[in-house]
């Protein structure tokens, strides 16, 4: 059994005017599904705790549960219980998710070794682009808004990667690769060098960044909420990735390598600088 939990607080993690209740329900469960899948597990049962102000519209709550149920159905897990309580002002939502995992397929953050390649699935920064569009009051680029509101965890890719012995560590990208890769580095007792120029960006994210005067690499590094897979793989297996991921509907991109020590970002100009998990890096602007 593997387990995870994620808490969402109104005004901190979501705003009711930016995210509808059905999308919120979907996302609250999906982010946990993503975490279980990235460990090599399969979700099976969710416990939903929700604290609601007494003035909450019952239709809003019903739509929240519709979103939860839609995600549960999509990922074959059951909503088995939880708790519903009152709250003075804000909505709180906690999802605890249980999954099963075959011991041989469990992937943690601690298996990365120097020489491994750092890879990600899909494109990075779409969710941050969607959030930036919402903040700007724009509803252009529906795919980016959708990436932010309704993330789709990479089930087939996670299964394929968890079955591959050359994959040494895996997690999902929730906070942005600059922060999440640090967890692998710390847990594995290694270093990493990330190549900013190699980060996979969607055409839509590049276009939205141009519209908003924003930096899409910054979105990819620190925007968060992509729910793509971040994994390390033995270098000799990188060439096999297209075969490993065949039929999963997703491709992977090598974006860096595991080193003995240090935590560095290589800019598009080849210059190296410390990779700050939180603060903004400006050299690529």
**# binding residues, a second copy (CB under 8 A):** 32
Binding residue for a second copy (CB under 8 A) from 4, 168, 202, 232? Answer: 4
Structural element, H or E, at residue 209: helix 203-212
Q: Which is nearer to a second copy, 78 or 261 (by Cβ)?
A: 78
Note whether 70 and 150 are within 8 A (CB): no
Binding residue for a second copy (CB under 8 A) from 17, 55, 58, 86? Answer: 86
Binding residue for a second copy (CB under 8 A) from 20, 66, 74, 82? Answer: 82
Q: Does 80 bind a second copy (CB under 8 A)?
A: yes
Which residues neighbour 105 within 8 Å (Cβ) at sequence distance 6 or greater?
40, 162, 163
Q: Does 212 bind a second copy (CB under 8 A)?
A: no
Which residues neighbour 96 within 8 Å (Cβ) at sequence distance 6 or greater?
3, 4, 5, 32, 46, 47, 49, 82
Q: Does 171 bind a second copy (CB under 8 A)?
A: no
- Single out the residue of 112, 52, 46 nearest to residue 79, CA to CA: 46
Taken in order 246, 110, 226, 78, the sign of the CA dihedral is positive
Q: Does 110 bind a second copy (CB under 8 A)?
A: no
Minimal distance, residue 154 CB to a second copy, in Å: 21
**Segment 241-244 long-range contacts (CB within 8 Å, at least 24 positions apart):** 241/119, 244/160, 244/161, 244/164
Q: Which of residues 38-57 bind a second copy (CB under 8 A)?
A: 45, 47-51
Minimal distance, residue 98 CB to a second copy, in Å: 6
Q: Does 17 bind a second copy (CB under 8 A)?
A: no
Stretch that binds a second copy, among 92-100, 111-119, 146-154, 256-264 (CB under 8 A): 92-100
Q: Does 6 bind a second copy (CB under 8 A)?
A: yes
Q: How far apart are CA 105 and CA 181, in angstroms?
A: 20
Note whether 224 and 177 are within 8 A (CB): no
Binding residue for a second copy (CB under 8 A) from 55, 58, 85, 104? Answer: 85
Q: Does 76 bind a second copy (CB under 8 A)?
A: no
Q: Does 65 bind a second copy (CB under 8 A)?
A: no
| Full 3-state SS string of 118-157 | EEEECCCCHHHHHHHHHHCCCCCCHHHHHHHHCCCCCHHH
Q: Does 20 bind a second copy (CB under 8 A)?
A: no
Q: Which is nearer to a second copy, 6 or 257 (by Cβ)?
A: 6
Note whether 56 and 179 are within 8 A (CB): no
User: Pairing relation of β-strands 191-195 and 263-266?
Assistant: parallel
Q: Does 3 bind a second copy (CB under 8 A)?
A: yes
Q: Does 13 bind a second copy (CB under 8 A)?
A: yes
Q: How far apart are CA 267 and CA 271, in angstroms?
A: 5
Binding residue for a second copy (CB under 8 A) from 25, 38, 75, 94? Answer: 94
Residues near a second copy, by CB under 8 A: 1, 3-13, 45, 47-51, 80-83, 85-90, 92, 94, 96, 98
């Amino acid at each position: 059994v593997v387990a995870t939990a994620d808490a969402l607080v109104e005004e901190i993690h979501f705003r009711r005017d930016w995210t509808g209740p059905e999308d919120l329900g979907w996302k609250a469960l999906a982010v946990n599904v993503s975490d279980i899948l990235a460990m090599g597990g399969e979700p099976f049962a969710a416990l939903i705790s929700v604290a609601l102000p007494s003035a909450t519209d019952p239709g809003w709550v019903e739509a929240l549960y519709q979103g939860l149920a839609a995600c549960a159905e999509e990922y074959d897990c059951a909503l088995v219980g939880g708790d519903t309580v009152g709250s003075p002002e804000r909505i709180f939502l906690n999802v605890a998710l249980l999954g099963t995992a075959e011991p041989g397929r469990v992937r943690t953050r601690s298996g990365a070794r120097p020489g491994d390649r750092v890879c990600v699935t899909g494109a990075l920064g779409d969710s941050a682009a969607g959030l930036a569009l919402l903040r700007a009051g724009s509803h252009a680029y529906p795919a980016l808004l959708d990436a932010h509101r309704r993330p789709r965890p990479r089930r087939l890719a996670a299964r394929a990667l968890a079955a591959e012995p050359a994959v040494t560590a895996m997690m999902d990208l929730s906070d942005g690769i600059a922060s999440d890769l640090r967890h692998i580095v710390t847990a594995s007792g290694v270093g990493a060098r990330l190549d900013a120029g190699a980060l996979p960006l969607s055409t839509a994210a590049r276009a939205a960044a141009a519209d908003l005067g924003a930096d899409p690499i910054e979105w990819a590094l620190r925007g968060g909420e992509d729910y793509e897979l971040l994994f390390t793989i033995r270098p000799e297996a990188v060439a096999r990735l297209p075969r490993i991921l065949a039929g999963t509907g997703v491709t992977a991109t090598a974006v860096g390598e595991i080193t003995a020590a240090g935590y560095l970002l290589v800019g598009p100009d080849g210059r190296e600088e410390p990779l700050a998990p939180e603060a903004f890096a400006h050299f690529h602007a």
